[in-house]
Every structure is written in structure tokens, then in C-alpha cells.
Structure 1
């Protein structure tokens, strides 16, 4: 393969290898005469030219020269040789690369024999550079070096190692797949562990062995269980040594490089963690490729893999908890729906039995009844109608929740239904000083559900009247080509901007102190929205506080040709009066009243007035706290009987105001409410109330308790008048009145006796026990309060 030089000049080592690096120095000092290439000054021109091209380059280059392919390489290539340098300098290629010469030698033969270059991209070579067989990847080009007559004198090699790029892409692919694990497959953390092992096991060159361990039930200090394994361990799983895994899981070491029986010489064990848990919940064992050294980069990468799996475990656990919560909520919602349906239907049966006989008595005996009896029957009738309406609305809401609210389409005269529903409120509007405007065109007959439409109109008009203290409520119906539009507008209190998006939510109520009533479930507008959904319609609202609100309903207009309208009854007239309560006060006497009654429900107020006046007491009434305070301050009453739930501020606030007022602080206050329970009782008494009566109550009990407190109040006032030392007597009177009064009320409630019997019993107990009446009363109160606090029931 030698050729003649074109000139007589000779090359010297110092000229061919002039660099100050270790590679050039090695080649300069090499005894070339002992190699197959011979002295440098005898090298052929083609070799000298190739060396002069390769050595200065910063790109890794290699020359294989002569029949035995003696190698010469530049300093950039030396980094690829590892421990093979410096022996590789001037060495035969087959000796230097003996571990892979079967393949590389074949490539060289193709270049020499075929006189054509060959190349490879990301070609894997297993080479021994650091004392072990290493998996490496290369992109290279082998080109022939020609002499005279195109004789191939050597092979020029340009190469780049891409091992780290290949490994990096492979690892990144595994991490990306770990990040896309399905958290919602319902298998929880064990399922995630199995899926992670499967993902890592699909890259056997990178992960020849993978095993995941989790604590049983993920409990701390729980038994460790192998969840999944991937790869050929070369032995049965039962022969594995778990000591290193346990050490990592129990926190003894952060990670461990362990020996594993089988084909995989080493593995890295890293802990698996979950958010909210201090101790690891498991461990991930990752076998290391036998052609890879276990260094810091391997351990670090295994830690990243474990962190990614830990993140998936945490997400899976959170998803599973959320799934269980959703299932539990769905089950609770289903149970709630069944309960409401059952309760609603069960209410209808006694309501039917109540309303039927009641109507018969009212019709047949109206002329024979006294005025108080007739008024009582009217109150019961209105209450029954209101309860029936609330039950019907509740059942409609339940049907909407269950997806069973379906429209029964039939020809319906929307004009008649709208006018009938709206004019039901004429009397209430007139009594309240409101202008009610009803504007409807004639003969708007469409295919729709008339009953649903009547409920929509009724609820919207009722809502407008309820929240319009003064001004006007207008109801307008417009028939357009494809739609029917209903507009209910008022000049009322308006809706705050932050609550506009909530008004169609179930049980949401806009609290207004000036509303005509605070009663109701807060489902009226929600029901309207559900009904319009069933009718394929919609509702919009515009509102401004202190200006008014406008509700606009739009439903499709489905014309019915030559169809007679269907007669439908609107909501009964009595139900309109049943849903409103006036707030104005009335005073029964011109002088001081025995009782100031504070109650916003008209029927309940009238009922209590009749009940109390029969006993000979004078009663003044008020519908809210402000009016009650004005009446009490102008003429202090003997006692205040107040409901807790009132428009605006509650009855508890009234107690606070009375106790802070120096002129009213001695007035006894009895709370009347439907809210039962120990907490409510203790809260009311703690604020200074003298007694607490829970609805429903018996007439005898309420009268007896009122009598006790009235008599105690009169006794106290008499003592104050007769006393010369009003301040000290006032303190004693207040203390005695509060203590003895409460004790008498407790005895009356527990034993179902009247005030006289309670006085007698308290006196007898005092005499028999030789205790002062006041001390005995304190003991009765303490025992009663302790019994309520312990089990919610008074002591027997």
C-alpha cells in the first residue's frame, strides 16, 4: 500500500504531531520504526497528507493505515478511548477494538474491497473502555484513502459519540410515559404501581429489572408487599433478598445500591412517597444495565423516576378519594331525593284528610260558627293551603333533580292562565298600596304545559310582590313569531350584583329586612328555572338595588291550529294570602299593654292575640324589631313575647336591645320559635331571655308560662315602688325574678301543670327541704340545663 512521495522532502514527528497535548506528545515519542508503518521520514505522501489533515482538527478523526490498519488519531478522538489510551496509539485496529472487531472489521472490509464509503447513525457498539463492556452509540463515516490507480491505502474515520443523547431520549420517553399514567382507572395506588412497572419494563435496555413495593393498605409500619415485577431476574421472586428494600422504606437510608440474584448484577432502590405521609409508602427497585456503570448519574436518574411514580401515587390517591367522595355524595343525593319524595307524598295524605273535612265544616257550618271559631278555621285553611303549595313545590324540585320533570304538551291559552295567576295578587297588592298592571294580548294559544306555566307566573309575581314595599308590579305577555315573552317587572328592593348569579340556585335566598315575608324554602326561582328547562325556555334577570328587578321569560311558540284551549285552574286564591305576612303593628289598648307580641306571620299573630286576650290580657303587636322597640319605649309592656325568626334582625337581637335599654331591661322576654335544640335554648337564655317556647306548642303551656312571668313582673314592680333603696332592690328583684321565673317555667313544662300548681310545688319543695325558694329555684335551673347539655332532654 506504499507509494512514492512526489518530492524528496521528508517528514519528521515534530512536524506531523506538533500539538502540546498528550495525544500529539504520545505520537511524537512513539518508536515508529518498531511499528508496521516504519520511520516517519519514510511515510508515503498520502499518509503524511492525511496526518497533517487530521491532527490539527478539533473534530474527532481517526486514520487506519496499511494492510493491518494501524491507527493514528487526533486529540479530540482520544476522549473516546478511555483506558485504551495510550496503548491504542500506533496499534492495529483489530487489537485495539477486539471486543467488537467482528462487526467493525466487516465495515472496514467493505470500504477497502468495495472502494466506497460506509456510514452509520446511532449505531450501538459494546466496547470495553473502562474495564467493563459498555453500551455505546455512535454516528460515523468510514471513507477510503486512495493512492495511485485508486488503490485503497487506508481508511479515514470521522465519528461522534451519541451515547448520552440516546440514553437521555430513552429516559425522557420513559418519564413522559410515567407522567401520562391513568389516575382514574379506579385501581388506586396499587394500580399506578403496576402501570409504572409496565411502562419502565417496556424499555428493557434501560430498565432490565423493575419491581415496586407498597405497604399494605398504605398504612405506616404496614407489611411490605411486592405489587409488580418486570424483567428476567434469573430466579424465583421468593428467593429475593428484601433487606435493602426494607431499609429504604423504613427510612434507614435515602436510597440503596443492592446486589440482586440473577442476570442483573446491581439495582438501585429508591423510596416511594405520598403527600401527607411522613414515612415512605413503598420502594422502587430498578435494575441497572450490565453494560452501564452505577454512578451518581444513574442513582440520580432512578431518584427522578421514583419521584415521578410518587407524584402519580399521590394523584391517584387524591383521585380515588375524590371519586369515593363523589360516589358518596351521589348516594347521599339519591337517598335525599328518595327521602324528600317519600316525605312529600306522606305529607299529601294527611293534608288531604285535613283539607277535605275542613272545607266541609267551613261550608256547612259557616252560619253556625262564632266569629272567633270562623277565624280559626280560616287560619287553619290558609295554613293547609300554604303547606300543600310548599309540598308541591318541593316535589317538583325533587322531580327536576331526578330528571323526571317532563312537560305534558297540550293546547293552552297562555293569556287566560297568565291573567288569572296575576290577578290573584290584586287584593294583596291593593292592601299594600301597590299598583298591579297586567297586560296580555288576546288568544295566545300554544302547545305547552299549562300547569308549569301557571307555576312560573305565580312564583315570579309572588316574588315581585314580596320584595316591593311600594310602587308598581307589572306583568306583560307578548306573542312573537317564534317565541312567547313574559316580563315581570317591579320597582322593589332589587337584588345585589354579587347575588344575581345565585338567585336561581336551590335554597338561596336574598335577605331583605323590608320584604313582606321571610318565609319559604328559597326554591321558587330555582323551580322556575327548572320548569323553563323542561319547556325549552330561558329566563333572564336585570336588577338594581333600590330601583327594582325585571325578569324576562322566553319560551318557544308552538302554534296549535284550530285547537281549543285547555281549561286549567290557577293556584287557589287562598294560597296568595297564605304566602304573605304584613309587618304593620296594631295596638290593642290605648294604655300600657300587658303583652307586646312580636310576630311577622299574620295568621300566627292573630291566633296568639285571640289566645292571650281570652285570658283578659291586653296585647300590642308588631311585625318586626324596630316597630316593637318603638312601642316598648313609648309604653313599656309587662312582658315581651317574640318570635326568633323575624324580617331583618332576629328576636335574639331584640333581647340584646331590651337588656341594654335602662328603661326596658326589667321587662321579661319570652322567645317563641320553631328552632328546637339545646344550642338554641342555651343561646337564647344566655342572652338574657326569661323563657324559650318551641313551636308547635300547646295553648295551655304558652298561657301558663306567660302568666308566671307577668305575675313575677308585677310583683317586682310593686317591690320597687315600695322600696326606699331602689338600686339595691332592683338588683335583688331582677335576680329573684329571673331565677324563680325560670324555675316555675321549667316545672310547668316538665310536669305539664299550670302556674298555680307550679307555685305550690315550688313552695312545698322549699318547706320540705328547708331551703330558700330562690336557692331551690337555682338548683332546679342548674339540673335542667345540665340535663339539656348532656343528652338534649330535661332531667325527669
Structure 2
């Protein structure tokens, strides 16, 4: 094969060719260089350099006692900006940043005469003004001269940084995934992820800004943070928008890479990072539906050229972290939802049981009609609340639903007039029962029993948030001789609910063939905290004890029908009910006015809990029984944790047993 080469040989053919480095070596001024002109170079160097320049693999030659550098095109990218000035330079000068690594390797080669091969060797290069973590596979092979002595070193190799980082990233992310699977709760998940990423990068601090459920994305508070020992955390209260261009860039969904603080043009933002002792900064956004909802940031106390691998690592950590957080939040939401469903179902059963017990009728057929009518009214209200996700129901919609059967046909028999008023879920159910009783009475004894009768309902609210509702029934003259006289459960319910439970009043007036019912009720609007209401007996004071032996008991229950049934049951069992209260304020007022011997308190009172009531009872040494629709035990840290409880719906027998056990039990 070798016989086919060109017979015309040039001693300088080892420098022939059109490659960049062949051209540079030919045109380099070697006259004053220790290696001398190429024409004087020994054959061993010429042969080695000829192989080097013709190789497509990154190759270099270190020659002479000072290890002067020669290299090919493929190798020219390795020294970065040191090329092409490193041509002919001493190895010690070219590689001053890694001389502590390669000088011992050169020494080993020269002393042993054997070549060296290393894999994934860490070389902390400073090619671009700051230290880079780079990894390499390379070999050093001795080149011997004509006398057999080692005259130089043949070097070939390639960078493996990407491979090392990918392997390290894979191992890190697998470890992170295992850790996140065992993390308990969103807070621990975020903190663990920040710590793991911080240790992976050798960072100064790592944090996660998270909008969280219902939070404002422009604030994006620091939800979790890990810092190296002795460092102060980022100010959690620092508004995200105060980060200027950094915040604006992240809000657009772009990654922020700051290799050194000089690149930050906003003086205030730069000062912020300087105060934290940070020299480099990386932040990766997390968006949902085009909106920024989280961002993970990494601070270093040294300058760093952030790579695409660095960004990918943070992105994958953020992806896994947010995924774990969302799964945990979804699990918690599901738990809350299931508890709430169970709670509402039990409360509804308690209401149904109360309706069944207190509904009065002369026979089974009449009882069935009354009971089913009450259930239908309750069902309508629940349907309205469900449509609004239990946030509230407008008074107009309640009236419309109740009077709908009388609006069909040729002409409407009921007119509604009043401003928009949105009632909370608890008051909506109470109002539904009140309106149902009024419409039922009208259908049996009043205007709706007359084919030509009509009803007009108007309402307004006062500055003190009191609802004024006027229910007017108009009938024919021959039916208007005497006013209707409602009796039984409906009348009892109206009086109990409006007077004792809601602290309101109902006034009936019959004149000129018209019945006018005027209701004045303190409003409980959707999204509004309960206002204090004074519990009272029939004469405006707390009921007196029936007998010296009767134990006085306080009832706290936000559902008026359940409260009415519970109070009636307690009276039947021989207790004296000093007051029924439906919120914290009215219960505390009653406690201060007429301290009871015992209490039965519902844990959840609409948008508030009875915790303040429980604390007051404990402080006074008054035993109490918790009434709840929740099966789950209370938080061990809660005031309710060690207190006896009864689960709705409950029987009078069960209530009697629990209260009997409670009577001899000290509070707390």
C-alpha cells in the first residue's frame, strides 16, 4: 500500500495541508523560540506533529524540557480564549489553573516511561474569567527521541463534562424523587427540595417562591428556603415586584442567569443581592395557564458561568417539587372535601331527624304531607347552595324557588321587589324554612288558598345590616273575614327561629282583607363575619331554672331547626336550657350573663369555630359536650382534643348517656 505514495518527498511535508493550525505553525516566528525553526526540529517531533495535524481527534504535543505546546484544529477549542496565543507556550503557563493536576501526571510519565490514561478527570479551568467544573478523558504518551530519551508527550482527549453532569443529574434526581415521595406535607417537600439542590450545587442558598392556593402572583412570597451554615435567609416579606427586571423577566416565563452581579443594571436589585453576599444567581419560573405561580432560585457566593445543564437541573427539580406539592395539596383538598361531605351529610341528617321529631300532625297521612313538604323546601335550598358552591344564595332566588308553583299559569300570583342581598349558607337554610312556613300557611289558610289571592314580598336592609321583609297577602272580601291563625310546628318554628335563634322579630297585622307579616332579622351575608347577637328568653332575659335540682345547660348550635330540637330534647330530659346561641358572640354573652352548669356546643358555627367558647368554659370549669358532624378526631393541639363528643345525628338516649357521664366529669 505504501508504494502508492508520491515519490517526491519534502522534509517539511509534516506541516503541509490547509488546516488552520498547520497554517499557523508555518507562519509562526520560531526564530527566537526555544524550539527553533521547524527546519531544525528532530525527526521524532516532525513525525509526532505530522500525526497530530492530520488527526481528526483533539490532539496536542508537549515538547522539550519546558513542555512547549503544539496542537491541531480539533484541539484548538479546548483552551478557549487562550487559543491561538497558547501556540508554542509552556504547559505551565497555558495551564496555570490546572497545573496542580497535570504536573504530577507529567512527572509520573517521565519517571516511569509509561503512558497515562484518565477518565472523567476533574479539571477546574478558568478559561472565561471564573472557575468551571469540567471533566475529561485524555491520555499522555511519551515521545522518545533518536537516542531513546523522552523528549515530549503526545496528548489526545475529549471533554466528558456533559456526560458526567448527566449521570450526576440522573442520580441526583432519582434520589430527590425518592426523598419527595416520603416528604410529609407541602412545606417539608419544598424545604427538602431546596436543601437537596443547594447541596448539589454547593450553593449559598436555594429558595422557592410560591404563590400557593389563593395567593397573589405579584407578591410571590418565599415559601421555603435552605441556606448554608451561618447565612441569613432572604426576606420572606420582600415583594416579588421589588426585584425589578428580574421579576419582570420571570413573570414572562424566562429563566434568569446572572453569572456575576455586574450584569445587573438595576442598582437597587444589585444592592439587594450584594447585601445577601451573592455573586451569581439563577432563577427558573414555573407557570400555569400562562401565569407565573412559582420560581426557584439559587444563589452562589462565587461567580459562575451557568450552563444549560444547570438550568435543566433546576427545571427538573422544580418540576418534581411542584408536582409533589400539587399532589399533596390535592390529597389535602380531597381529605377536606371528604370531611366536609361527611360533615354536611351528618348535619343534614340531624336536620331531617329534627324535622321528623318536631313535625306535628293529627294522623299519619297529614304527618307525611307536612314532613315531605319540609324536606322539599330543604332540598330546594340545598340545590341553590350547591349551584353556588355553598358560597351563598340571593334572597330573591330563595323566594323565587319557594313561590315558583304559584307563578305558573295565566298570571303570576306573587310579586317580588327588593335590592340584591346575598345570604350565607346557614342563613339561607333558615330563611328557606321561614319562607316555606309562610307560603304553606298562605296555601292552606291565606291568599294562596284563594284562586284570586295574591302575595307581594318586598324587602330592604338598614345601615345596621338588618333585613326588613314585608310579606303581604291579599284575598277576596268573602275570604278576608278573619285572619289565619297558624298553629303547630310551623308557628313554633317561626317564633323560636326568628326570636331566640336570630334575635329578630315577626309582627302580624290583619286589616282591610290583607295579612301583613313584617320580619326584622339581623343579616348574615355571604362572605361577612357574624355580628354579635344577644340570646334571650321569652321576656328578654335568660330562662330561669325550673327547679333547684335541674341542671342549667347552654346550647350552641348554628342550625335553628337542630337547635330547636336539641333544646326541646334537653327540656324533656329534665335540663333547664338557659339559652340557645348560634354564634360565638351570642354564646359568650350568655356565658357572662347566666353561667350554666353544662353546655352542648357545635364545633363548627358557619365561618367560625366554637374554640373561644370552649376556652371560656374551660377557664370557668364548666364541663361541656362537643356536638359535631365530623368523624375524624380533633387536632391534638386543639382545645377540642381531649373533650367528649357526640356525633350527629344522635338519639335522645345517647345524649342522655353522654350528659350523665359529663355531669360528674371536671372540665378539661
Q: Which has more helix, going by share of residues?
A: 1
> Normalization by structure 1: what TM-score?
0.42
> Normalization by structure 2: what TM-score?
0.48
Larger-Rg structure: 1
